[in-house]
Structure 1
Amino acid sequence: MQQVKAVVARTKGAPVEVTTINVPDPGPGEAVVAIQACGVCHTDLHYREGGINDEFPFLLGHEAAGIVEAVGPDVTGVAPGDFVVLNWRAVCGECRACKRGDVHLCFNTHNATQKMTLAEGDDAGTELSPALGIGAFAEKTLVAAGQCTKVDPSARPAAVGLLGCGVMAGIGAAINTGGATRGRSVAVIGCGGVGVAAVAGAALSGASPIIAVDIDPKKLEAAKKLGATHTVDSSQVDPVEAIRDIVSQTYEGAEGADIVVEAVGRPETWKRAFYARDLAGTVVLVGVPTPDMTSPEMPMIDFFSRGGALKSSWYGDCLPSRDFPMLVDLYQQGRLDLDAFVTEEIGIGDVEAAFERMHHGDVLRSVVVL
């Protein structure tokens, strides 16, 4: 067992703190990873606020890259010294989704069996709940070996670690879930980290036009840098009409975009996404709603008469072993600008301040560098 510094949320809504935790030696199927960089994701803030569950204390952080330090018995997929991006979809290979070939939809993804614990304070020995089964705002963390995906060791950790959650979610929402490709139009509503990643994914696919929608000029500018051909400030114009007008200039008679990615997770923006798609178009919900939100009231005839598909995208419907190395290679070739997502690099003690900057929309990603 080792003791390392880590960022923990002890109680709901309380500021996070840097404390010492116990990291067990890896058991069967497990790995200890020395973290090099970890992005500050909105999901971590959801955990701190009790928006995921109430299994406090939480070990936060999950968008991470690092070096495998040790592995447990029977682990063959990774070895000490491997540079890896961590993922929260360690597939089981045995559930009904895996057995029918839909490995990316695995219904029984797993995490490390052993628990990391608090090492100091009155609650020393208390088991920690690692965010998304990872817990990477830490010098080292314990994960299932299947959560480690080997990638090019020369890649920048602060950039490629973001594939562990938000960037993969956005790129996958456009390509894997939405089916973006050349000859199709894409609109993205909400241009935070996930939405801008969806723009980047649409650009990789060859789709055009690519329309970014937001109320923040800074976010729209970031979307342009990552591939948006058009931007729409929805505080100034009706975004549904604007999307229709833009797409019809390329495809005569189009009534909207072929694929509309909703990256906000709110009923009103989902409704706009629904009506901003073309006939037989696809809406992809990748923004995460809160449990109290309900779908907007809409005529059922609209669901029938417009056809197409309404999809949710969980982790960009990715398969980490397939998608992470490919995207890292594209980054290394200069075809995917992952560096553009890194607004700032911070220390392990700066996570609470990063949450505040996130609230104000000042960053795409703050990245903790260890």
Structure 2
Amino acid sequence: MQQVKAVIARSKGAPVEIVTINVPDPGPGEALVRVQACGVCHTDLHYREGGINDEFPFLLGHEAAGVIEAVGEGVTQVAPGDFVVLNWRAVCGECRACRRGEPQYCFATHNATQKMTLAEGEDAGTELSPALGIGAFAEKTLVAAGQCTKVDPEARPAAVGLLGCGVMAGIGAAINTGNVGRGMSVAVIGCGGVGAAAVAGAALAGAAKIIAVDLDDKKLAGATRLGATHTVNSSEQDAVEAIQALTDGNGADVVIDAVGRPETWKQAFYARDLAGTVVLVGVPTPDMTIPEIPLIDVFGRGGSLKSSWYGDCLPSRDFPVLVDLYRQGRLDLDAFVTEEIALGDVEAAFEKMHHGDVLRSVVLL
């Protein structure tokens, strides 16, 4: 058992706190990771606001990279000293998705069996709920060994740790879910962290035309740096009409909704070409419903309407490849790191998130 500093959300909407927590020694199938960097993601804010569930207190943080410090019995895929990116899709190998050869959809991903707990105060011993089974706003965290993907140790932790969630979600939405290929046209609606990553993924896949759509000119400029060939400020012009005008009146081959609202999903539906693909990677809230669209339009336009879970990634396959592309200078993961902060700055990072000032604040430990 070790005691380390960590950031928790104690109750719904309350400011986060730095506390001391107990981290057990790894048991069978588990790994203890010394965290080096962890991005501040919207999902962490959703946890704090009670938007995921009410299993407080939460140990926040999940977009992380670090070094394996110890492993439990039976762990062979990683060893102490390995540099790893953490993930929340530790495939089980046994569920119906895994059995049919689609582990990227694993429905029973593993987390650590043992619980980290509060170490001090009246509630000492209270079990913590780690965000996405990771909990990496902490000097050290305990995870299932399958949540650790070994990558090039020369890579910058602050950059490659972002593959643990948002950047992988966006890149995967383009490459894995949208099947973007050479010469295709792609539109991305919403150019925050995930949307900007979708732009980068489309560029990596060789798309000929990449149209970035947002309300914020700063985000559009960032999307251009990551590979967008055209930009549309949808506060000034109709997004659907603009996308169609840039694609000879046809619409894009793939349209990615990185916002996750009924109105943006409807824009994506009508901004695609016949037999085109819509990819929903922005996360809607439970109260949102699909907007009214005539069923004849669903039939008549053909194509695919897809949701992208975690960029439909398989971490063991995708993380090392993307880190290698980053090391070769072909994927600019550094562009997603807006600022590097300390554990005590997480609450301020949430506030900046509300104002759209950052792609990612990254906690360095």
Residue aligning to 1:251: none
| 2:120 partner amino acid | E
- Where do 1:354-365 residues align within 5 Å? 354-365=349-360
- Tell me which residue corresponds to 2:115: 115
5+ residue gaps, structure 1, are: 249-253
Aligned equivalents of 2:239, 2:281: Cα separation in 1: 18
Give the equivalent residue in structure 2 for 1:274: 269
Aligned to 1:260: 255
Residue 140 of structure 2 corresponds to which residue in structure 1? 140
Q: How many pairs were matched up?
A: 365
CA separation in 1, counterparts of 2:13 and 2:240?
A: 36
Task: Report SS of the residue matched to 1:247.
Answer: coil
Which residue does 2:161 correspond to in 1? 161
Cα pair 2:183 2:209 within 8 Å, conserved: no
- Name the counterpart of 1:24: 24
In 2: Cα distance, 1:298 partner to 1:102 partner: 31
Q: Report the Cα distance in structure 2 between the residues aligned to 1:226 and 1:121, rounded to whole angstroms.
A: 47
Q: Normalised by the size of structure 1, how large is the TM-score?
A: 0.98
Deviations 1:144-173 (A, max 9, x none): 000000000000000000000000000000
Q: 1:99 & 1:324 partners in 2: Cα distance? A: 22
Root-mean-square deviation (Å): 0.5
- 1:170-249 alignment runs, 5 A limit: 170-248=170-248
Q: Give the structure 2 partner of residue 94 of structure 1.
A: 94
Structure 1 Cα separation of the partners of residues 53 and 266 of structure 2: 27
Q: Which amino acid aligns with 1:348?
A: L
Distance in structure 1 (CA, Å) of the matches to 2:317 and 2:52 = 28
1:332 corresponds to which of 324, 327, 339: 327
Q: Distance in 2 between matches of 1:241 and 1:234?
A: 10
Match of 1:318 among 275, 292, 313: 313
1:14-39 per-position Cα deviation (integer Å, ceiling 9, x unaligned) = 00000000000000000000000000
- State the percentage of identical aligned residues: 83
Cα separation, 2, equivalents of 1:8 and 1:363: 22
Which residue in the other structure is 1:67 paired with?
67
Unmatched 5+ stretches in structure 2: none
Determine the C-alpha separation between the residues in 1 that align with 2:194 and 2:326: 17
* Distance in 2 (alpha carbons) for counterparts of 1:287 and 1:208: 24
Cα distance in 2, alignment partners of residues 183 and 224 from structure 1: 18
Query: C-alpha distance in 1, partners of 2:85/2:246?
Result: 38
The correspondence of residues 336-347 of structure 1 with structure 2, limited to 5 A, is 336-347=331-342
Which moved further from structure 2: 97-106 or 190-199? 97-106
Q: For the residues of structure 2 that align with 1:108 and 1:348, how far apart are their CA atoms?
A: 31
**Aligned twin of 2:5:** 5
So what's the TM-score if we normalise by structure 2? 0.99
SS in 2 for 1:124: coil
* 4+ residue segments displaced more than 3 Å: none
1:183 CA displacement:
2.2
> By how many angstroms is 1:226 displaced?
0.2
2:84 matched residue in structure 1: 84
Code of the aligned partner of 1:364 = L
In the aligned structure 2, how far is the partner of 1:295 from the partner of 1:120?
46
